[in-house]
Amino acid sequence: MFAVQVKDAIRSTMNLSDMVFRGYLGDLEDAELMRRPGKGCNHLAWQIGHLVVAEVMMLGGMFPEFKTELPEGFEEAHHKDNVDCEDPSKFNTLAEYLELMTKVRANTLAALEAMDESKLDDPAPEQMRAFCPTVGDMMILIGTHPMMHAGQIVPVRRECGKPVMF
């Protein structure tokens, strides 16, 4: 019998999180991404972009060689100063978001694969240490961050008459 290795558990967490998050998004129309799950919440397009930017920044802070180059203006469109923007032309289509998420996650998984497992115990970048003390903690955060937002997709799905999932 083989014990699960730490990197395998992190990879599995990332894959499960992706499956749920993408499952919730999969049948939404582009216009539905501009819906907000409730008063004071960010619309789905902004949240998806936020997740992409956050993963790029977290990974780039640890492994600059694996940092994904984002399209021009993407980071600014999904900055916290832009949460009130209601102009769909400032955001991406679902297909574009999913393609970018795939590219970013592939780089994250490549970094995970390339690192020696002992690297997971290294200190995280200084600005993240209070929340995630180690590289391992950061990789787990990257994997679970979409799940922190996935529940906000459900009210939009219900309002749009989409089927219940999971």
pLDDT digits (tens, 9 = 90+) for 37-80: 999 999 999 999 999 999 999 999 999 999 999 999 999 999 99
Give the pLDDT confidence of 121-154 residue by residue, as tens digits. 999 999 999 999 999 999 999 999 999 999 999 9
Domains parsed from the chain with CATH numbers: 6-159 (1.20.120.450)
Partners of residue 134 on adjacent β-strands: 123
In this prediction, residue 166 carries a pLDDT of 84
In the chain, the amino acid numbered 44 is L
User: What is the residue-wise DSSP string for 23-73?
Assistant: HHHTT--GGGGG--SSTTPPPHHHHHHHHHHHHHHHHHHH-GGGPPPPPTT
Phi and psi (nearest 5°) for 153?
-75, -30
Beta bridge partners of 123: 134
Largest CA distance in the chain: 55
pTM of the model: 0.95
C-alpha–C-alpha distance, residues 130 and 141, integer Å:
13
Q: Tens digits of per-residue pLDDT, 2-41?
A: 667 999 999 999 999 999 999 999 999 999 999 999 999 9
- CA-to-CA distance for 7 and 11, rounded, in angstroms? 6
What are residue 151's phi and psi, to 5 degrees? -65, -20
Nearest-angstrom CA–CA distance, 64 and 157: 36
